[in-house]
Amino acid sequence: MATSTPKPEAKVQPADPASDPNAVVFSGDGEPHTPESTIERLNQLLAEGKLQPDKYSLGGTVEELETRMAAELGKEAAIWMPTGTMANILGLRKHCGMNARIALQEQSHIYQDEGDALARLCGINATPLAFDRPYFTADELKELLKMSVTGRVLNPVGAVSIETPVRRQAGQIMPWTEMKAVTDLCHEENIPVHLDGARLYMMSAATGIGIKDYTSLFDSVYVSSYKYFGAPFGGILAGTKEFIEGMFNDRRMFGGGIPFGYLAAGLSLNGLEGFEAKFAESFAKATELFTEISKLPNISIKTFEHGSNIFELILDDAIDTDQFVVNLRKNKIVVTWPNSEWHVPLLHVNPSILRQTNDEILQAFAQA
């Protein structure tokens, strides 16, 4: 009699502490979402009639999000993009056309993380400034503009891009006065200026400067809708009607005219509701909490001079950082470590900080 081969037992994967609905997750800009919570939100939106299909990213809830975000950002029009990379590339391509030059930060996402897409796909040369720094100054930009038109070959700058906050620089930002000086210079020289404001809402909460105050300085702006609004992907590119008009053709040409965009758009609209107030509450709570944590022995929280929602966790040498992070997780406090891009653990403030009281979080740090 033949015997059946026993099936191997399925391995049980350990639960991700960040998926615990009661965990404070000091990582990322938005409240963590799981597959279960995302499906639950979609079902709720469907029951409320807030999911209207699009046709290859045209119409339906996608259009509703575009209209809402244009108003939020103080711009005449907006277009939904499936990725931030596409939003930045198509925005800069529209500004300066083919075979041009843009100025941007050396530490920016566009320069470091998009695979020279501007050059390979658009014939646009990216000229970096502010090496290993969060931002460049108006004087640095002025010098580049001069060099671009006084060399043996005329090679003018077709657009300027500013990323702020800067992810690679732990969310540090370009100060308002410098941003104003740079954008004023661009406008004087009739050079379009683009804001890679993926984390714009974080910067606004940290500085107290309004969203529209920031966006008013720029000809176009990109804002992420998945980093903190709870969408699985996507972002918004906003500007004048003339700038946005017809860009759906470029989006489709680059492979971004996808069907079912309304699912991400619906979640974005849902996450947008009350977000500014909730994040402001989270930031205020973190400010009080970090002051108290810094009073503990051997621990301090460092604030960047021009920071946003990211802070450094400084531990004395006597503390084993790896074990400290493990101990925090036992109390449902999640800190991402090690970090290949930063030399100490970073604490990202997001609405998950509202899940526990400051006393509970402080006690967890004290026990760790």
Q: What is the pLDDT of residues 149-193, one digit of tens each?
A: 898 888 899 999 999 999 999 999 999 999 999 999 999 999 999
What is the per-residue pLDDT for 12? 44
The burial of 235, by beta-carbon neighbours within 10 Å (0-12 exposed, 13-18 middle, 19 or more buried), is given as buried
Mean predicted lDDT score pLDDT of the chain: 94
What is the per-residue pLDDT for 78? 98
User: What are the chain's domains?
Assistant: 17-29+275-367 (3.90.1150.10), 39-272 (3.40.640.10)
pLDDT in tens, 190-249: 999 999 999 999 999 999 999 999 999 999 999 999 999 999 999 999 999 999 999 999
In total, the chain counts a number of residues equal to: 368
What is residue 141's three-state secondary structure? helix
Q: How far apart are the first and last CA of the chain?
A: 59
CA distances from 45 to 33, 54, 265, 267, 269 (A): 16, 15, 11, 8, 10
CB under 8 A, 24+ apart: contacts of 136-139: 136/103, 136/105, 136/182, 137/178, 137/181, 137/182, 138/178, 138/181, 138/182, 138/184, 138/185
Provide the angle, in degrees to the nearest 10, between the axes of the packed helices 358-367 and 275-293: 40
Query: Strand ranges (DSSP E) for 316-354?
Result: 333-335, 346-348
Rounded Cα–Cα distance for residues 160 and 211 (Å): 20
| Helical H segments across 217-339, by residue range | 241-244, 247-253, 261-272, 275-293, 321-330
Helix (H) or strand (E) segment spanning residue 220: strand 220-224
What pairing do the DSSP bridges indicate for beta strands 299-302 and 220-224? unpaired
Least confident of 112-116, 148-152, 216-220, 328-332: 148-152
Rounded Cα–Cα distance for residues 265 and 225 (Å): 8
Rounded Cα–Cα distance for residues 41 and 271 (Å): 10
The Cβ of residue 259 has, within 10 Å, a number of other Cβ atoms equal to 11
Question: What's the token pair of residue 205?
Answer: 């909460």
Residues 6+ apart with CB under 8 A from 319: 298, 299
Least confident of 14-18, 76-80, 124-128, 340-344: 14-18
What is the per-residue pLDDT for 45? 97
